[in-house]
Amino acid sequence: MSPHISFAVALVGILASALRVEAQTGKFKVFPYCQCTPSPGAYSLAPTVVSKTPGTYCFTVKTNPPQGCKSYCCTQADLKKLEIDINSSCRVPGVSAVATINDVRTKVAPVFDKAAQGLNGSTILKLTQLGLNLSTANGAEICITLKTNGAGQGCTTLEQLCAPPAGAPPGTCSTALFDTADDCCPGNPVNVKTCKTCVYFSLTATGAISRPYNFTATQCATLAAAVARDMSIQSAAANASISSNFSMVSCETNQLKVCGDFASDVEGGKLRAFIDDMAIQWLSQVTGDLTTSCPIALANYTVTVTVGGNGSDPAVLPSSCLDAVKSTACKPNPFPFPKCVCNTTQGISPFTPDGPITQLNGRKSKSLLYCFSIKTHTPIPGPCSSATILQKVEFWANEAVRTKVLGFSLKPTGASSWKNISATWGGKGEETLKATPLNWTLAQADGGTVCMEVDRSVALDQLCLGPTPNTCWANLFDPSRTCCPLYPTYYTI
């Protein structure tokens, strides 16, 4: 034998022992590949798995011995070990996993192993020293994070990892829960094939667009939060298990995409009876109450909410366990104010105008002050009902007479003198006159006064626009700018 050959043989020996290629006995042909009692037993895993972060999968232990079962496995067995039947191709050298029990890292990491008494190729993932028992196991959460080896090989999803039970589709894991003596090994199939569902908000131009409208980052965040919240609430009500919460995937100029995962198609399907109503509700967050017109900024756009699988074009989505399409073609609004998108419903913030418009003398003999009092009240519950600051007041006003507005005089409650600020106008065509910044607290706003100083050559009715005479329409903003309740304020001569 040449030295080269003996070296090669020695090397093979080392590699062989590292990978433990010794023969599998083939004594047990089905998982869990050993002599033990698979049922009845005290423990099982919840039928669905939850993924908290990508690559981490959490199983929940249930202590639920069948009624009347008096055997050792039902009444005394502890819970020492979890085994999962896996695809042998996932057991590549250097691959690893880590585990936690109730958020505490396990002392011993999960091991990829050959099933010693199984058929050639049968492979298991083994997590031992669980240290659970009949009084501690119920509700325990075992999370496993799968990692590739240095070369990026290995299985990182349970769908790739698990060898499904005979006849079951991919996405099912066979599990077994062992006691210290390896006598009991109850187990059950756990579904790991999640249902990815995405909600898309899209804007399509359907007529002449004079001002292109884009979703803003704030608007995307607000809508995505509404989807996440509604999905959570509705899923809790329908017992549908979400394995990863809904969150924003992308926010482009005219499309917002929000995705999440249900634990399985069956779980997601539990919302099928509700998803149309949910889609209408999300649509109304963009377009406003569907019985009235859309905000002016959306005129000539069609707004669509689509629910379906993961894709990029909402018109051609892969199907999902939930599907819905709802849209509204926005007509030009006959009441074209305000020009921004915000909730104009009266009463939704703590601030409202109080009483008619009053008149005072201005700083100059040629000017008059038109004064609006503000008061606070108990708002309709909603996102702006907890506002504590009155940020600004905006009026629907005629840009043609902008030079005749000399400024605003402000007197919050508690102030001993007037504060005078200049008038601010919105962009050309917005016909928006702004008293800003106010930055009044609730106490300052309650009884506070905002006065518009206007040259006497212009009547208030020439300055204030809108369908009703002697009326100034005013939006009261809190700093979030998502709510701008719109009020008519009256002037009686």
Ligand X SMILES: *[C@@H]1O[C@H](CO)[C@@H](O)[C@H](O)[C@H]1NC(C)=O
What's the closest the beta carbon of residue 250 comes to ligand X, in angstroms? 9
Q: Does 285 bind ligand X (CB under 6 A)?
A: yes
Instruction: Identify whether the C-beta of residue 95 lies closer than 8 Å to the C-beta of residue 153.
Output: yes
- If DSSP codes are grouped into helix, strand and coil, which group holds residue 289? coil
Out of 189, 269, 311, 466, the residue judged to bind ligand X by CB under 6 A: 311
Report residue 480 as tokens.
């979030």
Only one of the segments 99-107, 309-317, 397-405, 425-433 lies at the binding site for ligand X (rule: CB under 6 A); that segment is: 309-317
Q: Which of residues 312-351 bind ligand X (CB under 6 A)?
A: 312, 332, 343, 345, 348
* Of 177, 18, 168, 158, residue with least CA distance to 87: 158
Only one of the segments 35-43, 143-151, 285-293, 459-467 lies at the binding site for ligand X (rule: CB under 6 A); that segment is: 285-293
Nearer to ligand X, 163 or 472 (CB): 163
Report residue 327 as tokens.
């849209």
Q: Which of residues 390-429 bind ligand X (CB under 6 A)?
A: 409, 418, 420
**CA 212 – CA 253 distance, rounded (Å):** 10
Instruction: Identify whether the C-beta of residue 59 lies closer than 8 Å to the C-beta of residue 45.
Output: yes
Out of 16, 30, 69, 209, the residue judged to bind ligand X by CB under 6 A: 209
What's the closest the beta carbon of residue 87 comes to ligand X, in angstroms? 4
- Give the contact letters, 442-481, x = binds to ligand X (CB under 6 A), - = no: ----------------------------------------
Nearer to ligand X, 111 or 421 (CB): 421
Q: Which of residues 144-173 bind ligand X (CB under 6 A)?
A: 160, 163
Q: Does 269 bind ligand X (CB under 6 A)?
A: no
Burial label for 369, CB within 10 Å (0-12, 13-18, 19+), is buried
What's the closest the beta carbon of residue 364 comes to ligand X, in angstroms? 9
What's the closest the beta carbon of residue 174 comes to ligand X, in angstroms? 12
What's the closest the beta carbon of residue 345 comes to ligand X, in angstroms? 4
Q: Omega into 383 within 30° of 0, i.e. cis?
A: no
Q: Does 293 bind ligand X (CB under 6 A)?
A: no
Out of 20, 105, 363, 366, the residue judged to bind ligand X by CB under 6 A: 363
Contacts of 167 (CB under 8 A, 6+ apart): none
**CA 386 – CA 445 distance, rounded (Å):** 15
- If DSSP codes are grouped into helix, strand and coil, which group holds residue 303? strand
What's the closest the beta carbon of residue 3 comes to ligand X, in angstroms? 28
- Give the contact letters, 101-140, x = binds to ligand X (CB under 6 A), - = no: -------------------x------------xxxx----
- If DSSP codes are grouped into helix, strand and coil, which group holds residue 401? helix
Instruction: Identify whether the C-beta of residue 292 lies closer than 8 Å to the C-beta of residue 309.
Output: no
Nearer to ligand X, 5 or 208 (CB): 208
* Of 94, 106, 69, 83, residue with least CA distance to 34: 83
For ligand X, the nearest residue by Cβ is 382
Q: Does 58 bind ligand X (CB under 6 A)?
A: no
Instruction: Identify whether the C-beta of residue 451 lies closer than 8 Å to the C-beta of residue 371.
Output: yes
- If DSSP codes are grouped into helix, strand and coil, which group holds residue 344? coil
Contacts of 68 (CB under 8 A, 6+ apart): none
Report residue 367 as tokens.
């000017």
Q: Which of residues 213-252 bind ligand X (CB under 6 A)?
A: 214, 232, 238-239, 245
Only one of the segments 38-46, 99-107, 186-194, 434-442 lies at the binding site for ligand X (rule: CB under 6 A); that segment is: 434-442
Out of 138, 441, 470, 480, the residue judged to bind ligand X by CB under 6 A: 441
For ligand X (CB under 6 A), the number of binding residues is 48
Q: Does 272 bind ligand X (CB under 6 A)?
A: no
288: left (phi over 0), alpha (psi -120 to 50) or beta: left
What's the closest the beta carbon of residue 23 comes to ligand X, in angstroms? 4
Give me the phi and psi of 275, to 5 degrees please: -65, -30
- Give the contact letters, 69-88, x = binds to ligand X (CB under 6 A), - = no: ------------------x-
Per this entry, what is the length of the chain? 493
Only one of the segments 11-19, 102-110, 122-130, 283-291 lies at the binding site for ligand X (rule: CB under 6 A); that segment is: 283-291
Out of 269, 356, 382, 447, the residue judged to bind ligand X by CB under 6 A: 382
Burial label for 464, CB within 10 Å (0-12, 13-18, 19+), is buried
Instruction: Identify whether the C-beta of residue 270 lies closer than 8 Å to the C-beta of residue 281.
Output: no
- If DSSP codes are grouped into helix, strand and coil, which group holds residue 463? helix
Contacts of 262 (CB under 8 A, 6+ apart): 194, 195, 197, 235, 240, 241, 242, 243, 268, 321, 322
Q: Does 182 bind ligand X (CB under 6 A)?
A: no
**HSE (CB half, 13 Å, CA atoms) of 355?**
14
Nearer to ligand X, 129 or 457 (CB): 129
Q: Does 380 bind ligand X (CB under 6 A)?
A: yes
Instruction: Tell me the CA end-to-end span of the chain in Å, nearest whole number.
Output: 118
What residue ranges bind ligand X (CB under 6 A)? 23, 26, 52, 87, 89, 120, 133-136, 160, 163, 207-210, 212, 214, 232, 238-239, 245, 253, 284-285, 288-289, 299-300, 310-312, 332, 343, 345, 348, 362-363, 369, 380, 382-383, 409, 418, 420, 437, 439, 441
